Amino acid sequence: MHQGSGILSARQRRLAWLGFLLAALQAPVSAKLVSDDSWLFSLCVALMVATVIIADDADRRRPAGARSTD
């Protein structure tokens, strides 16, 4: 049984993980240092990147021949 290839290449996947970790770590640090709520932007970016990583995981776990028709 072959697995799907996913929507991201291996390099893009590594960069997505790096971007997620940097944004997720930057949010609480900037929340402590900055008095306004601009840290929420970092949190939103981290959540959007996490969504792409989760979609890539789901696509990779799907068998190679099984693509949705929706």
Domain ranges of the chain: 10-61
Query: pLDDT class for 63, splitting at 50, 70, 90?
Result: confident
| Cβ atoms 50, 20 nearer than 8 A | yes
Asked if residue 25 lies in contact with residue 44, where contact means CB atoms within 8 angstroms, the answer is no
Is residue 53 predicted with pLDDT exceeding 70? yes
Tokens found for residue 2: 């072959």
Q: What is the pLDDT of residues 25-41, one digit of tens each?
A: 999 999 999 989 988 99
Distance CA 29, CA 24 (A): 9
- Partners of 7 in the β-ladder: none
**1 pLDDT above the threshold of 90:** no
**What is the phi/psi pair of residue 21, to 5°?**
-65, -40
